[in-house]
Structure 1
Amino acid sequence: MRIAFVSYETVFHRDTETNRRLQSILEFLADRGHDVHCFCTQFWDGHLDRLERDGITYRGVSVGPEARHSFHLRLPFVLATARPDIVHAGAEPPTQVLAARAGATLARAPLVVEWYGDGGVDDGRWTRLAAGGPDRIVTPSELVATWVRERGADGAVVDTVPNPIDVDRIRDVPPGNAVDVIYARRLDDGANLESLLLGLAELRDRNWSATVVGDGPERAAYEQLATDLRIDDRLSFAGELSLEERIAAYRGAHVFAQTAEHCVFPTEMLWALASGCVGVVEYHTDSSAHELVEGWDRGFRTTSEEELAEAILAAGDLEHREYDETFAEYDEGAVTDRYLERYRRLRDDQGLW
C-alpha cells in the first residue's frame, strides 16, 4: 500500500508529542513493508527534493519552515502525481488539512487526519473547516475526540487510537529496586507534582517510599516542598532516565501516580501500567489519564489529595506485578493493525480496491 503522509513540520524540525506520534506511525508502517512517503518542508541540506531514510521517503514540498504558503499551494498537485492509496495528514496547521483534502480528491484517495491535540484544539475558522473535511479523524483519546467533535467533526468519522508501547521490551527489562509509589514526567509548571507530595504527606505516619522520575525547571521547588512537608527522607528524585531505566523502575514499583493537569494521552503511565503498576490518577478536565483506569480493577480515580492518599493505601492491598497482559492491546503491532484496518475499510467503502 502506498501511504502519503502530510506534515508541514516533522520530528526532524521540532521534537513535540504530535510530531513523535506521527513519526512512530510512519516507522511502523514502513517496517511492515508499505510504501511510505512523508510530504513536508525540507529539513535536509542540498538541492534534492527527496530523502530516503529508514525505508521512508521524505519529499520536500517547500524549503524552510517559513514557506507555508507555497507548501499549501503545491501540496495538492504533488500528492496527485504520487498516486497514493491513502492520504494521512496531521491536523496542525489546519490549513494543511484543506490542502491535503484537495490533493486526496485529485488522487482519488481517502483522507485520514491525525488530530493529536497536544496544546489543545482551537475554535478558529480554519480548524472548523478542517474538522469537516476528512473521511476519518484519528485521535489519541476520548478527550481529544470530544474537542474535535465540538469543533464540528462528524462523530461517526472520529476514532481513538492510543499511543503504542513495546510489550516485548517491557518483558526483556529486569525489574529495578522495589518502591511503593513512582511518578514520572517533566517537572515544569504543568506537572502538578504537589498533589502527590501533599497526598504522601497525609501518610507520613505510614511506612512508604517514593521515586520521582524526570527533571525540569520546577524540580528545585518540588524538592523544597518535599523538605517542607517532612517527607524528603522517603522520597528520591531520580532525574531523567532512559526508557529502559524507566521500565526497570516501573517493574519494581507498586503504584504509578498521575497528577498532571493536561495530558492528551498518558504514554508514560501506559508503560508503567503494562509493567505491572497499579494506577492512581487525579482527575482533571484537560487530561485523558483517567480513561486508562476506568473499569479496571487495578486503577483508582481521585479528585483530591485526601482521596489520592486513600487510593495509595488501598492499592497496597493489591498484589505486586511486574507485567500486566491487560495492556497487550496497546502493543506497537496491535496499534499498527488498527491503522491498516481503517485504511482498508476506507478504500473498500469508496470502491477503490
Structure 2
Amino acid sequence: MTAPDAVPPRPPFSPRLWPAWLGLGAALLAARLPWTWQRALGLGVGRIALRLAGTRRRAAQVNIALCFPQESPQWRARLLRDSFDALGIGLFEFARAWWGDDQPMRRQMQIEGVEHLQALQAQGRGVLLVSGHFMTLEMCGRLMCSRVPLSGMYRRHRNPVMEWAVKRGRLGYADAMFGNGDIRGAVRHLKRGGFLWYAPDQDMRGKDTVFAPFFGMPASTITATHQLARLTGCAVVPFFHRREGGRYVLRVAPPLADFPSEDAVADTARVNAAIEAMVREAPSQYLWIHRRFKRQPQGRSDYYDRGRAPSP
C-alpha cells in the first residue's frame, strides 16, 4: 500500500493520458493568474456551465427545491445561478490551492475559534475537523494548514494523472493525505494526536451508512465520523468556511459535546445538522450539483429523473 504521505510515481505521457495531461497543463497555467483575473474568468466559466451542464444543473435545481421548499421560485433560481458562479470561481480556487500562491488570500483571511484547536493540541488529543463539500474547501483547507498541522482524507482518482497531480498539490501544504480506503492509517493518525480534515456529506452506499436528516430530508450518510471518534477518542470539530468577495472567513466551532454516543444514527444526524448550518451560512458556495438524495429508505429515488417536479 502507498504510504499516506507519499506522492505516487509520475504517470507516463501515453496517448491514453494526453487529455488529462492537457487539462493539467491548463490548470497549472490558471493557478498562476492574478486572483482578480481568476475570479472574473471563474464567473464566465460558471455562466457557461449553467447553460451547458444540463444533468448537473438539474441535480442542483432539485437539491435546492428539496432543501428550500419554503422559498420562492425566484429565490431558488437566483441561488442556482449564484451557485454556478461559485462553482466557476471554485475551479480556479482549487488550482490555486494546489499549485499557486496563497499570499493574497492569507493577507485578507479572517479566522475565528482556532483556540479550540490549540487547546486540543495541548492535550495531545486527535481532532476530526468536519466540513462539507463547498467550493472553498480546498483553498480554506490550505489556509487552515498555515495555522495548524492538518491532514486530509480524500477519494482516490481513477485517472493516474489526476491522482498524481492532486496528491502532489495537496502535500505541498498538508501533513499527509489518506485515501478513503486507508482507515487504519487515519485511525493511527488520530490516535497519535493528529488533526484530520473530513467531509462526510455525500450520498454513500455500503453497510456503514445510515439515513439521517439533512434539510429535513432522509440522506444516505456514512457513519465514519461516529466510528473514527469511537475508535480513537478524537474530538469532532465543525469547520465553517466561506468566501466574501476576495476575503476568506474561517470559523472553528467548539468540539461536539458528548460525542460519540452509543447511537450511530443520532451522531450522524448531529454531524448532518452541523453541515446544514454551514450551508445556511453560505448556500451559494455549496456543491449542489451532487445528487445528495438519490438513495432513499424505500430505494433509489426518482427526484433527479427528467420531467419529475423537484419537490419532497
* TM-score, normalization by structure 2: 0.30
Larger Rg: 1
Q: Which has the higher contact order (CA 8 A, sep 6+)?
A: 2
Structure having the higher helix fraction is: 2
Structure having the higher strand fraction is 1
